Chains A and B, each alone.
Chain A
Amino acid sequence: MKNVVIRIVLATALGVAAQAASAQTLGTVKSRGALNCGSNGSLAGFGLPDSQGRWTGLDVDFCKALAAAIFNDPGKVKFVPLTAKDRFTALQSGEVDLLARNTTWTSSRDTTLGLNFTGVNYYDGQGFMVRKALKVNSALELNDAAVCVQQGTTTELNLADYFRANKMKLKTVTFATSTEALKAYDAGRCDAYTTDASGLAGERLRLANTGDHVILPEIISKEPLGPAVRHGDDQWFDIVRWTHFAMVNAEELGITKANVDDQMKSENPDVKRLLGTEGKHGEALGLSNDWAYRIIKHVGNYGEVFEQNVGQGSQLKIARGLNALWSKGGLQFAPPVR
């Protein structure tokens, strides 16, 4: 009844990619020759193109790692910058293959929005930034304040919850992008600016006088940020999920970008299974057996990627904290490859 032509015409017309929604993502990506990665285009440390148009960031490196696993070439990624507001529609409609855009994992996004979060590549929480001149030391002193916030975020909801729970009055001013919200805060439209704590560190660097602003100590929410894919393609879900796990396992096993070639000769069975010198774990995912080797060789392990983008190797200088390995007091824990 429904022939292919009509399907394609209608699917395009409605923006609902009929085929992409089913278990075909890997094949689609391979035949396209590039991964379409939904990214943040304006957040230092997570996703930001530099003056030469080179994308950098923790989420950007995640997409590069995925491209390395599939194509053995981290350059085969097309980064699609998305606003917080539009990101889910872009993923639902098949415009991007995955969303790696500092997105908080919540139950409604995991269910009614039709998405699956594959893991947490950054444990975060929401904070506030205010002007030093206001002499505010705690978020609980913000009663009656005007707060600038980005639209379509959990931030917007947490903000309303926090003020309601603490019986404080609030004036929110909502903007479509973080850039506009930050600009309005800088212009004095709001007393405070709120977003994830990692974002605050990056956004503060973009203000006219960085030293005039302080980040308040309160963290008012849990923000587990991670990559997300569409419902209905288990193979693709597994590939995206294990890309992150491979990077965490590599850090735990001490495999780095620099020593990965030497590690190929390792006799440690955990290393052998991860790097594909033993077993067929890569083929089980629909990739080649050296998939994890490719990721580490081209992009690095989780710790390297973290330090380079948001940690000591970056301007943000964020400590590992919750994002340290479980063996070092953090929450990053990956199931074993076996």
Chain B
Amino acid sequence: MNTTETGAVETARPKAPLIYNPKVRGIAYQAALCALVAFLVWSAIDNAAENLARAKIATGFDFWNHTAGFDISQTPIEYSATSTYGRAFWVGLINTLLVAGIGIVLATVLGFIIGIARLSKNWLVARMAGFYVEIIRNLPLLLQLLFWYNAVLKALPSVRESLAIPGGGFLNNRGLFLPKPDFLPGSSAALIALALGIVAAIAFRIWARRRQYRTGQQAPVFWVTFGLVVGLPLIVLALSGFPIRFIYPESGRFNIRGGIEVLPEFMALLFGLVIYTAAFIAEVVRAGILSVVKGQTEAAYSLGLRPGPALRLVVVPQAMRVIVPPLTSQYLNLTKNSSLAVAIGYPDLVQIFAGTVLNQTGQAVEVIVITMAVYLTISLVTSGLMNIYNRSVALVER
């Protein structure tokens, strides 16, 4: 029965030619589109290579190991004019990551403070925070960077009239100079104490939390942590006779040498990025907090929580679900905006690599491709990490 039935159906419906089959057609269209895109990409590369060859412009990545010949003002890793272009690339990359990393941390802290302040019941505090957000986010970042750079240069004294910072530091328009700790042999005991202190502090926190769940009793977590992480290494240091020497900055004929040097370009860029991005983060935070229904706050108050703990324990954890995705965008913006460093002479990746190296080698295609790939990688890693964090704070549906 079955066979005759199906057989009858098959004969009843005439076999359509393959080109009228919607599935086959769909696949054919997509294959054609892919082939076209592949052809365009291949032609573009081929055409560019042909043009470069005809103009006898050097191609390839040989330049990576050639001597750079120029100096860089901020070198977190060993670098001199005799180093290679490749080394210069790493210097630029680390400088970019340095300003972006510190900038993200500071912008988050400042952004949360401003965002929460804007919702404050104190009229003056709320208005000041609103004023800050509206002024800062409505001015172009480049303008702000130039403002901060000129402010840093103009407001700070010249080298000869350096402000002395208690403890052996100096501040002037060439930068901030701080004593640099030099760890002598014997200081390892203190480092071990620091590591032990951190481990012990984490263990104590876990124990304190468990006890609180069980009995409702709170432990002085902050002071114990502080004692373990700061106090313990200090005691060990004192016992071993302070085996740390400080290298103090000294003034030379023109400049201050030695110690830790923070460039005014770095300070201006960090200031500008943090203040600008914090305004956006503040709005993200405000939106997140407002998204938590008022009943949650009221419930927390009715349980007897004071406003501080109510915000910290009830409102913010729920607000994080709304805050994290746009916060990621702000982190990416800050990282990419750090390339405006070029305007104020901070040696970041764009200034060194897409600037001087490109100019000297003339290999625009290679250098720009590498630079774009680096920013893409940084951005993808940042959003990857934020997505992992987002998953941990997202609403778990059961």
Contacts and interface: CB of A to CB of B under 8 A. Distances in A.
Contacts of B81: 160-161, 164
B51 A173 contact: no
Interface string A144-178: 11100001100011011100100000111111100
A88 B254 contact: no
B337 to A, nearest CB: 16
Interface in A189-203: 189, 191
B355 A152 contact: yes
Interface string B56-89: 1110000000000111110000000110000000
Contacts, number: 153
B330 interface: no
A180 B44 contact: no
Contact of A174 (B173, B345, B358): B345
A132 interface: no
A189 B174 contact: yes
B71 A172 contact: yes
Nearest to B55: A114
Interface string A6-41: 110011011111100110000000000000000000
Contacts of B254: 134, 142, 144-146, 191
Given A152-B355, A176-B342, A187-B153, A159 B51 contact: no
Contact of B362 (A92, A170, A171, A172): A92
A231 B56 contact: yes
Contact of A112 (B57, B174, B355): B57
B154 interface: yes
B47 A189 contact: no
Interface residues of B, number: 48
A7 B342 contact: no
A2 interface: yes
Given A10-B47, A189-B173, A21 B70 contact: no
B55 A232 contact: yes
A51 B57 CA distance: 38
Nearest to A9: B40
A144 B256 CA distance: 9
A171 B364 CA distance: 28
B253 interface: yes
Contact of A170 (B56, B71, B343, B345): B71
A14 B243 CA distance: 59
A114 B362 CA distance: 8
B74 to A, nearest CB: 10
A268 interface: no
Q: Is the interface of B mostly helix, strand, loop or mixed?
A: helix
A85 interface: yes
Contacts of B82: 164
A111 B347 CA distance: 28
Contacts of B47: 2, 7, 10-11, 14, 16, 18
A189 B174 CA distance: 6
A163 B100 CA distance: 32
Nearest to B352: A174
Contact of B153 (A21, A151, A189, A191): A189
A319 interface: no
Nearest to A16: B51
Contacts of A160: 69-71, 81
Contacts of A109: 362
Contacts of A156: 70-71, 356
Given A88-B359, A108-B360, A146-B254, A184 B44 contact: no
B351 A157 contact: no
Contacts of A138: none
B118 to A, nearest CB: 35
Contact of B56 (A85, A171, A232): A232
Contacts of A189: 153, 173-174, 264
B44 A173 contact: no
A86 B359 CA distance: 7
Contacts of A21: 51, 54-55
B359 A84 contact: yes
A112 B361 contact: yes
A143 interface: yes
B157 to A, nearest CB: 9
B43 interface: yes
Nearest to A148: B345
| 4 residue pairs, one from A and one from B, having the closest CB atoms | A114-B57, A113-B362, A152-B359, A112-B58
Given A16-B52, A170-B71, A176-B343, 15 more contacts: A85-B359, A111-B56, A112-B361, A151-B356, A152-B360, A156-B356, A157-B69, A157-B70, A160-B81, A172-B72, A174-B70, A174-B347, A189-B174, A232-B54, A232-B55
23 contacts: A10-B40, A10-B44, A10-B47, A17-B51, A21-B51, A85-B359, A89-B364, A92-B55, A108-B360, A108-B362, A143-B253, A145-B254, A152-B355, A157-B70, A170-B71, A173-B73, A174-B71, A175-B344, A176-B345, A187-B153, A187-B154, A187-B173, A232-B56
